[in-house]
Amino acid sequence: MRVTKAQAQANREHIVETASVLFRERGFDGIGVADLMAAAGFTHGGFYKHFGSKADLMAEASANSLSQSLASTGELDVGGFFAMYLSREHRDARGHGCTMAALCGDAARQSDELKATFASGVESTLASLEKKLETQEERGRAKMLGLLAQAIGAIMLSRACPDDAPLAGEILEVCRAQILASLPASEP
């Protein structure tokens, strides 16, 4: 039976979404094409009907999850964003959490195309946070860049600790308190 163009596009989107979750959970090298396709409910052979290479899927899945992450925080103010970001719930939701915290270390060892996808995601996140910062502070971008780097680093450090280790929670608590204290008084 022949697959319609609409069904082929839906299948591709499902593969991208599945890859987005699995890459964040396991890293780019932590899952192969065959296992990824099986998790999406397709055969390994069907992969190349949708993508030229695993690298192509990595870039598309990363762009997808970066934009989804940004969209999911669209209603939050800057304080709300960092409070949510530095929560235990976000830390523990590896497959559905921040792509940057999950995959920046992996992306650093990948192609310039994938690095450009991450750079675009960082730029979009910075622009969104800077726009939300209700202040005339001239150094808004530099401030947001520093706070975002601290938050991403905190998630990465916390995830590197055993889940039940007190240090895992302490890292989040300390960084959350520091970031929220550094925001203008109008921010929570």
Q: Is residue 19 part of a domain?
A: no
User: What's residue 187's pLDDT?
Assistant: 44
Rounded alpha-carbon distances, angstroms, from residue 135 to 125, 131, 185: 18, 9, 10
Q: Which two tokens stand for residue 128?
A: 């969104």
Torsion of CA 53, 29, 19, 45, to 10 degrees: 50
Question: How many domains is the chain built from?
Answer: 1
Res. 188: pLDDT tops 50: no
Percentage of the chain lying above the pLDDT 70 cut? 95
Q: Is 155 helix (H, G, I), strand (E, B) or coil?
A: helix
The structure tokens listed for 102 are 């999950």
pLDDT at 186 exceeding the cut of 90: no
Q: Which of 44-48, 51-55, 117-121, 148-152 has the lowest mean pLDDT?
A: 44-48
Q: Give the separation between CA 115 and CA 167, rounded to whole angstroms.
A: 31
pLDDT at 185 > cutoff 80: no
CATH of the domain at 66: 1.10.357.10
CB-based contacts of 96, cutoff 8 Å, min separation 6? 21, 24
Position 170 confidence tier, pLDDT thresholds 50, 70, 90? very high
| Per-residue model confidence (pLDDT) at position 1 | 64
Residue 137 has pLDDT above 90, yes or no: no
pLDDT at 184: 80
The confidence score (pLDDT) of residue 38 equals 95
pTM for this predicted structure: 0.88
Q: How many CB atoms lie within 10 A of CB 23?
A: 24
Q: What is the pLDDT of residues 73-108, one digit of tens each?
A: 878 899 999 999 999 999 999 999 999 999 999 999
CA distances from 60 to 1, 5, 12, 100 (A): 28, 19, 11, 14
Tell me which amino acid residue 26 is: R
Residues 6+ apart with CB under 8 A from 68: 20
pLDDT at res. 165: 95
Residue 67 confidence (pLDDT) above 60: yes
Domain span holding position 141: 54-182
Q: How far apart are CA 89 and CA 155, in angstroms?
A: 11
User: What sign does the dihedral 61-77-88-178 (CA atoms) show?
Assistant: positive
Confidence band (pLDDT; 50, 70, 90) for 3?
confident
With respect to residue 26, please indicate whether it lies within any of the assigned structural domains: no
pLDDT value for 131: 84
